[in-house]
Amino acid sequence: MKRSIYLAVFFACFSFVSFGQAKWELAKNKNGIKVFTSVDGFSKFKSIKVEAVINGTIDKLISLLKNSASNKEWIYGTKESYILKNGGNSEYLSYTETEVPWPASNRDIPLSMQISQDVKSGKLHITAKGVPNAIPVKKGIVRIPYFNSWWNVQADKDKLFIEYFLEVDPGGSVPAWINNLFVARGPYETFSKLATLLR
């Protein structure tokens, strides 16, 4: 069930207001990566915040994010990921399926991602929102009903300071209490692999 939890973990987030008002508890702190959890009262699943300081550049990060096929190399539990529609240099519609051990069903979600960078400060902002109805539901796969996430990234020389927020409703029959037992591992492993790829 653990992988089902992390598929779930990376498939949703609440509004900026909810994130700002949340009371965060530190769940993991290792190798420059901090994972926080919060129960905000709007969902039975915990919200996640990641603060990470890793080596890399904005250009490398953007290149990696635009290459959906590379998601299998760093996003925990990803089975398949590809671009559905390229709206230009800063907007994409992609598809991701996350592997879940039997007897649970795999989850999937079409994602609309937007990338913007402030010219003066260089700060990078990324949003990714689920578009559940963008393509038909696939047989045997549970469609993630809600996704809304965002990153803030600031570069200083060859270091990236990343703030990432998310929350999950994995859909289907994954009990919240099981999901919430393991929410720290998936984000931590994802950002650890991201750090390796950006070196």
Residues contacting 4, CB < 8 A, separation 6+: 100, 101, 104, 107, 170, 174, 179
Q: Check residue 17 and give its pLDDT.
A: 37
State how far the Cα of 91 lies from the Cα of 166, in Å rounded to an integer.
19
Q: Check residue 16 and give its pLDDT.
A: 38
State how far the Cα of 25 lies from the Cα of 110, in Å rounded to an integer.
30
Q: Check residue 179 and give its pLDDT.
A: 65
Q: Which domains does the chain have, with CATH numbers?
A: 2-198 (3.30.530.20)
State how far the Cα of 118 lies from the Cα of 57, in Å rounded to an integer.
15
φ/ψ of 17, rounded to 5, equals -65, -45
Amino acid present at 57: T
**Averages of pLDDT over each 10 residues, the chain, 199 residues:** 41 39 86 89 77 94 91 92 85 90 84 90 92 95 90 93 87 68 81 94
Q: Check residue 119 and give its pLDDT.
A: 81
Q: pLDDT digits over 7-39, tens only?
A: 434 433 333 334 455 689 999 999 999 999 887
Q: Check residue 47 and give its pLDDT.
A: 83
State how far the Cα of 165 lies from the Cα of 65, in Å rounded to an integer.
16
Contact by Cβ (8 Å): 10, 183: no
Q: For the chain, give the mean pLDDT.
A: 83
Contact by Cβ (8 Å): 12, 166: yes
State how far the Cα of 137 lies from the Cα of 110, in Å rounded to an integer.
10
For residue 175, whether the previous peptide bond is cis, meaning omega lies within 30 degrees of 0, is no
DSSP, collapsed to helix, strand or coil, labels residue 105 as coil
State how far the Cα of 107 lies from the Cα of 144, in Å rounded to an integer.
6
DSSP, collapsed to helix, strand or coil, labels residue 173 as coil
